Structure 1
């Protein structure tokens, strides 16, 4: 979206019914177990043991990965429910982690592993440190020039504020406010575009506060250091549930866009294997089941496309 249209578009989001393709944060976005305690949520995961290997897909996996037996994923693990750390502070969990494990099963590998990496460092490490990047990557034309992107989710953005909106944040007029975002995300770009438009309109700029971890933002939002946060709608919904309502979504979901698995441009064979494995997970209901564990099943796509056309 062009920056000249952003503020106007925000005021019209209440009518944007088509943009609510991801989990509805106004409803319970976690399982009952997750809602009851943060500890229970920290141990939630999807059991991929019943997912079969598909021989024709396994045959596509590059020899190096097949011999290693692992599908190595890089993720910024502070973005629940997509990717975050369990209570031990060392074990990555979340639906992207489970999806990577499921892909590995279909591809005939022993396991899918995930290591934490700061968000902006994941794509440059593909093909060396990591095989894939499942870390809530919004598919953009810029990213498609850097890596191959295989679509699997459709997720919108949403505003989050402290309960009761004590800072009186108005999504239709964010100028002069302090907004927290995760570094390197589409929301950081969006917030900076909003700020530039504010200045162009003769209004006060937005103070955009980037953080490596979305979990750090939640604490500061509750304490009143920030006016609002902007993140994936699934993240806002999950954060609201885990905070016991101390953080709530303000306004409707907007700017809905596909997310994708990132694979090195230099690895056509792995790209094809991941695409076909993801399509298998879609066609057989596994992707929806995994997402449902985290209350995000309505975000699932039905077609795994390589580098789909995006605005």
Structure 2
């Protein structure tokens, strides 16, 4: 995903598994989150701080609470979403659970719209934001990508995965769209505040002959998918693992198809306040621990995201 900050205009890259490799049980469905309140099912895990190997790295206040509050848009399958039972599942919850065992705390996922997560982090509603959020310089520096002006203090990122952006259409109805330039004169559905929206805004400035991209931005990706499915848009765009999952699962695989290449490959990062350096470093240590012990790879394999794996978690690796 990626709230208001451009990922970089680079050549296309295939960095995550192809659609056919999205190894997720067909019984899981794309279920809307519906509100911005705390999610009753926290989608978390914990371990005793007395036995957790990295508990000593956490700030004392976090250790005392035993909980790390996570701001997340829980409607972005397969990264984070609700299964049929209402449980929060996906790549991020699974990684958080594995990190929780290293740190001896529970990661408590709380639902919010994506474009408000960093605001919630700044206001201390959350301790961290973990929601398929792209690490880039604009977010690190608190810069609005549309105006180039500084709007906040920025955040630090603990990087943990690489992903790009894809375009998809109704199956068998591509309307000749094969790349971003092909969206000129078309209607595109996106989630508000994401890199997909940023890319569309940048691309429409390049359109000629008065054929601009009509951008329809929604609160979450599932609303964007609904708009496309109903014929209200010609195409939709989201991060590749999400687009691939939608193609794989929506309508039993009969609703959508990906068109063109994945572009703008960049790291996902866990967002942490720049003041919380001890928490940031503890999270990095925990992520590197699960990379080293193999739990990380097993989680990515489970969700078909193995091609986005990183060998090491770094701080602020986004450009």
1:60-139 equivalences under 5 Å are 60-89=57-86, 91-109=87-105, 111-126=106-121, 128-139=124-135
Q: Secondary structure of the residue that 1:158 maps to in structure 2?
A: strand
Structure 1: state its 5+ residue gaps: none
1:28 to 21, 24, 30: 21
* 1:6-49 alpha-carbon deviations (Å, 9 max, x no partner): 6xx7xxx6xx5xx1111222x23123xx13x335999xxx9978
1:220 to 211, 219, 227: 227
Q: What's the counterpart of residue 171 of structure 2?
A: 163
Deviates more, 1:47-56 or 1:178-187: 47-56
Measured after TM superposition, the shift of residue 184 of structure 1 is 1.1
For residues 55 and 216 of structure 1, the distance between their equivalents in structure 2, rounded to whole angstroms, comes to 40
For residues 55 and 29 of structure 1, the distance between their equivalents in structure 2, rounded to whole angstroms, comes to 32
Q: What's the counterpart of residue 300 of structure 1?
A: 309
Measured after TM superposition, the shift of residue 295 of structure 1 is 1.2
For residues 240 and 53 of structure 1, the distance between their equivalents in structure 2, rounded to whole angstroms, comes to 44
1:143 to 139, 147, 157: 139
* 1:159-184 alpha-carbon deviations (Å, 9 max, x no partner): 11110025333424211111111111
Change (3 A) 1:219 1:87: same
Q: Check whether the contact 1:178–1:206 (CA below 8 A) recurs between aligned residues.
A: yes
Q: What's the counterpart of residue 289 of structure 1?
A: 298
Change (3 A) 1:140 1:53: farther
Root mean square deviation of aligned Cα: 2.7
Q: What's the counterpart of residue 271 of structure 2?
A: 262
* 1:163-214 alpha-carbon deviations (Å, 9 max, x no partner): 002533342421111111111111111111111221xx44311111111111
Change (3 A) 1:248 1:52: farther
2:258 to 220, 224, 249: 249
Structure 2: state its 5+ residue gaps: 1-5, 33-42, 142-153
TM-score (norm. length: structure 1): 0.84
Segments of 4+ moved more than 3 angstroms: 38-42, 46-56
Compare the two structures and name the one with the higher helix fraction.
1
Match status 1:207 vs 2:214 = yes
For residues 291 and 210 of structure 2, the distance between their equivalents in structure 1, rounded to whole angstroms, comes to 46
Change (3 A) 1:114 1:214: same
For residues 46 and 303 of structure 2, the distance between their equivalents in structure 1, rounded to whole angstroms, comes to 18
* 1:240-268 alpha-carbon deviations (Å, 9 max, x no partner): 11112211111221211111010111101
Change (3 A) 1:208 1:272: same
Change (3 A) 1:202 1:167: closer
Match status 1:178 vs 2:187 = yes
